[in-house]
């Protein structure tokens, strides 16, 4: 598949938990990376290799994978978390990167 | 780490354009580099990737045969030669730094350069 499946949007109240799923392309066998993109800005990696968090990214961001679904979880959501989120894998069978369709997180 | 793209602009369908990305703050030749684009109001689309030594290159289906990625490690510069441009190539083109493996994440991104293809 050319695109990984993500929900179009997720709405969450401040302080609650947002979960964004990513599926398809047999991602159970691949490493999944997650990016956050705020309006007018370049993307920033928030989770790499399924569950690792870069320095400077709050612990509220976590990643997991079960079967062919990867999940980005944002705990104790803050207004500043409002952004688009994309998952990504490297498909070694076809030598290409595949991005998810993107999920807009809205903080109510 | 700093990535600065340049070379974007307005071109007509069928024309060519080369965008560049000057890198600093890391050992450029050791890392995979990619181009990712984003059409207005749309999601991220991977365009092309090149290995550190430049011998491995791969392309997305939508640009294969029209775009060529290259790098000059002596100048810490990444290039994307875009030929036979189409309206659907209109996008912001981001330069990204990867790791030492294609499986690694893009840990740094430039701010992007806008390419507009229109008559």
Q: A1-54 pLDDT, tens per residue?
A: 578 999 999 999 999 999 999 998 789 999 999 999 999 999 999 999 999 999
Mean pLDDT of chain A: 95
Chain B hits for A54, Cβ within 8 Å: 107
Find where tokens 């775009």 sit.
Answer: B67
Distance of alpha carbon A55 from its chain centroid, rounded?
A: 17
Distance of alpha carbon B19 from its chain centroid, rounded?
A: 7
Alpha-carbon gap: A56 to the closest alpha carbon of chain B (Å)? 12
Q: How many percent of chain A have pLDDT more than 90?
A: 94
Q: What is the pLDDT of residue A41?
A: 97
Element (H, E) at A45: strand A44-47
Q: Are B85 and B15 in contact (CB under 8 A)?
A: yes
Count of C-beta atoms within a 10 Å radius of residue A67: 8
Whether residue A97 and residue B49 make contact (CB cut-off 8 A), yes or no, is yes
Chain B hits for A100, Cβ within 8 Å: 43
Chain A hits for B103, Cβ within 8 Å: 30-31, 90, 92
Where do the H-state alpha helices sit in B47-112? none
Nearest CB among A43, A44, A49 relative to B44 is that of: A43
Q: What is the pLDDT of residue A2?
A: 77
Nearest residue on chain B to A3, judged by CA atoms?
B45
**C-alpha–C-alpha distance, residues B2 and A96, integer Å:** 25
Nearest CB among A30, A48, A95 relative to B105 is that of: A48
Instruction: Print pLDDT tens along chain B (119 aa).
Output: 999 999 999 999 999 999 999 999 999 999 999 999 999 999 999 999 999 999 999 999 999 999 999 999 999 999 999 999 999 999 999 999 999 999 999 999 999 999 999 99
Phi first, then psi, for residue A10 (nearest 5°) are -135, 130
Q: What residues of chain A have any CB closer than 8 angstroms to a CB in chain B?
A: 2, 30-31, 33, 35, 37, 42-45, 48-49, 54, 84, 86, 88, 90, 92, 95-102
Q: What is the pLDDT of residue A1?
A: 59
Q: What is the pLDDT of residue B3?
A: 98
Chain B hits for A42, Cβ within 8 Å: 94, 109-112
Alpha-carbon gap: A35 to the closest alpha carbon of chain B (Å)? 9
Q: Could you tell me the two tokens for A18?
A: 């947002």
């Amino acid at each position: 598949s050319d695109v990984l499946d993500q929900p179009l949007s997720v709405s969450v109240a401040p302080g609650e938990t947002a979960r964004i799923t990513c599926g398809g392309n047999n991602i159970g066998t691949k490493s999944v990376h997650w990016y956050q993109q705020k309006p007018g800005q370049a993307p920033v990696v928030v989770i790499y290799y399924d569950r690792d968090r870069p320095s400077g990214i709050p612990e509220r961001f976590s990643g997991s994978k079960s079967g062919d679904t990867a999940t980005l979880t944002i705990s104790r959501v803050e207004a500043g978390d409002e952004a688009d989120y994309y998952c990504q894998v490297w498909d070694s069978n076809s030598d290409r990167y595949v991005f998810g369709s993107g999920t807009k997180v809205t903080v109510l | 780490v700093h990535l600065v793209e340049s070379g974007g602009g307005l071109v007509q369908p069928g024309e060519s354009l080369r965008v560049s990305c000057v890198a600093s703050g890391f050992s450029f030749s050791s890392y995979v580099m990619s181009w990712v684009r984003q059409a207005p109001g749309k999601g991220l689309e991977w365009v092309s990737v090149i290995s550190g030594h430049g011998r491995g290159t791969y392309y997305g289906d939508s640009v294969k045969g029209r775009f060529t990625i290259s790098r000059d490690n002596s100048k810490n510069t990444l290039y994307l030669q875009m030929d036979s441009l189409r309206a659907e190539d209109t996008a912001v083109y981001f330069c990204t730094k990867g790791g030492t493996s294609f499986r690694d994440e893009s840990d740094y991104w430039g701010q992007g350069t806008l390419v507009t293809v229109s008559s």
